[in-house]
A and B are shown apart, each in its own frame.
Chain A
Amino acid sequence: MATFTDNPQPGTLPQWLQQQARQQGMGIALRHKRLGVWQLRTWGQLAAEVEQLAAALQVRGFVPGASLVIVSRPRPEALIAALAAQWLGGVAVLLDPLEAAASQVTLLRELHGEWVFAEGHEEIQRLRAAGLAPRLLIYADGRGLAQVSQAGDTLAFAQLQQQRSDHRPELQARAERTAFAFYRLGAGQRIEQQRISHAELLQDGRRLVHSEQLGRQDEALAARAFAAGGHARYLLAPWLMAGFRLNFPENLATRDQDRRELGPTLVAGTRATYERLHAQVLARLPAPGSWRRRLVEWALVEHPGALQRHLGYWLIRRPLRDVLGFSRTRAPLLVGEALAPPTLAFFRALAIEVRTWPDPAQWHRPVPWPAPLVNGWIEDNTQPA
């Protein structure tokens, strides 16, 4: 069984991507459900697409230290855009896709993004509401965008990918520089940020890969991949390092169905993820006092006897794990804030030992924009690795 090894260690995320493409070019890196079918991307294809987009960005003036603001729900194109920006030594700026539209507009207004990846019409509307006029706006879904600017500053992702070029951009990512930046509206509607360097991401990713024994055979669902720094540390970095498959749901509304269909071995959820699943099960349980409800309660006790353990497994726990999409999960991770005791107890009763991986980064006020250049780089207050 192929597993993660310590041998030669790339220092940045794009270098890890290159290594995976070299070592398992035909292996599946990404899967994305579309039209009811899981569409595949191999490591080789993914690396080529990232390099191609990086070339397109560089030709248009994207330089090391520049930021690419990503306003999108998790989808392969957004991830490719983030890796392309990092390839060129830039920063992928992520906004939580579940953030309210008004908050996103406020954040976008402050970010002054020159390079933006927006998922589609809705996100572009937010950019316009924020008064943003980026130098290049890349969109993934062209629906509703009949009146796209013809000035060449707004391009479809697919269009950029089709612009074949012999230009091969040099990999300019550096370990100590910021890979991802996250923004949110904190207390008093003040903007806060988290900036995470490649080195820091890889250090945390390595810890997780070792601790959870992750390898190429693993399968993860990336429903909240762009939500917070914790997901960059404990999902995206381990994915590149261990070389497992990352699966994007069809959309956020289908993520629970897709998880059930997929049966991922690694789940990196937030407190909201686990609590939502717990609430879904509670809502579907038989009425309190009924014999079926008593059977469920009998099977889900914290310290089951031998009969409860075996019979309860086949009658209750196994079907429930299937319904939740945890049938094969061996690494149920909680990224960020800890679970409430009843939810934790519920998953424990299902023999799902949720392990918490706290997000160590602190949110802080960003430096005034534009940030001062330091030796050609933007001083970014990256936290030390």
Chain B
Amino acid sequence: MTQTQAKATQVEHLLELENIGVSFKGVNAVTDISFAVVTGEICALIGPNGAGKSSLLNVINGVYQAQEGRIRFAGQEHRRMRPHDVAVRGIARTFQNIALFKGMSVLDNVLTGRTLKRRSNWIEQALRIGRAAGEDDRQREAAERVIEFLHLQPWRDTLVGKLPYGLQKRVELARALAAEPRLLLLDEPMAGMNADEKQQMSRFIVDINRELGTTVVLIEHDIGVVMGISDHVVVLDYGRKIGDGPPDEVRQSPEVIAAYLGTRH
């Protein structure tokens, strides 16, 4: 066994997808996809529209159930996972179309990300007894740490609906981060942003990965950003995997170039 091979077997895979297949009424969205995400890396899923990226994220997240294949997360194999179980196990996500409570403040939205971290039950909360005592302060502090981390302090008390699009995206990231996930799934976190906003968001994603040690799987169309921040890139096209490796390797793959330049179809 070579040194590289020995090293490769030592890396810990946080997430492994094996032969995943998803279809809707006979139409295949994803076919026979297998790849692994190493603990602590930023993995990007890229591909043209309709390639099956969001479907795959929904499978990981438990929103869709794969008809074929297996998912292994943190060493445990799952044939099917429900969204609630997924969240409990430490997977959080953001959505392509912002899904926030527009009539609530930034702080309150971030606090909703702490729901699974509460230990008190509803009776204790209603009567402010037992574990509920002091829990609000702890949850508030945890939410404030996320707000500080993502530099959202100036908008802490602002209603989310009044914020510009780029900031709403950041609040959504904050809510996902508030759950203290081991794996963060980001569905087009920079869609619709200008160059400055993209740069800022990229920095936050890298900081989340480096400073908090959170493993990130993201879908992004901006190839420049993807190549700049990712450790690992998986390329999908028409529901199939056509590339999987480090950014430099993927960038030079003839199949990937063909898919992106549109010469293949």
A-side interface residues toward B, CB under 8 Å? 34-37, 143-144, 146, 250-251, 253-254, 257
Contacts and interface: CB of A to CB of B under 8 A. Distances in A.
A164 to B, nearest CB: 27
A148 to B, nearest CB: 13
Instruction: Give the dominant DSSP class at B's interface.
Output: helix
A143 B144 contact: no
Closest 10 CB pairs of A and B: A35-B144, A253-B154, A36-B144, A254-B154, A250-B153, A254-B153, A143-B211, A35-B141, A146-B210, A35-B148
Contacts, number: 30
A36 B153 CA distance: 8
B148 A34 contact: yes
Instruction: Give the dominant DSSP class at A's interface.
Output: loop
Interface in B71-113: 107
Given A250-B153, A251-B153, A253-B154, A144 B207 contact: yes
Contact of A253 (B141, B147, B153): B153
A257 B207 contact: no
A34 B141 CA distance: 10
A74 B145 CA distance: 20
A39 to B, nearest CB: 12
Contacts of A37: 144
Nearest to B144: A35
B13 interface: no
B70 interface: no
A315 to B, nearest CB: 25
B120 to A, nearest CB: 22
B154 A257 contact: yes
B210 A35 contact: no
B77 to A, nearest CB: 33
A170 B5 CA distance: 60
Contacts of B207: 143-144
Given A35-B145, A251-B154, 16 more contacts: A35-B147, A36-B107, A36-B140, A36-B144, A36-B156, A37-B144, A143-B207, A144-B207, A144-B210, A146-B210, A146-B211, A250-B153, A251-B153, A253-B153, A253-B154, A254-B153
Contacts of B151: 251, 253
Nearest to A35: B144
